[in-house]
């Protein structure tokens, strides 16, 4: 199955759902950014508060509908 890109997502300690933080075209770019996010403290884009023990994950984008929706959103 074709991947349309990759998204870097996080899940805060005590939460169930992964939240999209960044979308990239390549897996190498997504892994590089995920490693940067692990080393440096990150903040929530909505509330600007520091993330509490986030778990980072790279998830492939499988559907074209999701791909189009992500790239129409403003990244910040």
Q: Return per-residue pLDDT of the chain as tens, 76 residues.
A: 688 889 999 999 889 999 989 888 899 999 999 999 999 999 988 899 999 899 999 999 998 888 777 765 555 5
What pLDDT, on a 0 to 100 scale, did the predictor assign at position 67? Answer: 79
Residue 28: the pLDDT is 94
Is the separation of the CB atoms in 12 and 70 below 8 Å? Answer: no
Q: Which structural domain range is residue 21 located in?
A: 5-72
CA distances from 26 to 53, 68, 76 (A): 26, 16, 20
User: From CA 24, how far away is CA 6, in angstroms rounded?
Assistant: 5
pTM (2 d.p.): 0.81
Are 25 and 65 a contacting pair, CB within 8 Å?
Answer: no
Q: What's the domain count of the chain?
A: 1
Identify the pLDDT of residue 71.
Answer: 64
pLDDT at site 75: 55
């Amino acid at each position: 199955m074709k991947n349309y890109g990759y998204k870097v997502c996080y899940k805060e300690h005590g939460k169930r759902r992964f939240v999209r933080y960044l979308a990239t075209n390549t897996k190498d770019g997504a892994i590089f950014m995920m490693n940067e996010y692990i080393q440096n403290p990150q903040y929530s884009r909505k509330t600007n508060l520091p993330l509490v023990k986030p778990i980072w994950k790279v998830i492939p984008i499988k559907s074209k509908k999701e791909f189009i929706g992500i790239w129409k959103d403003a990244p910040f």
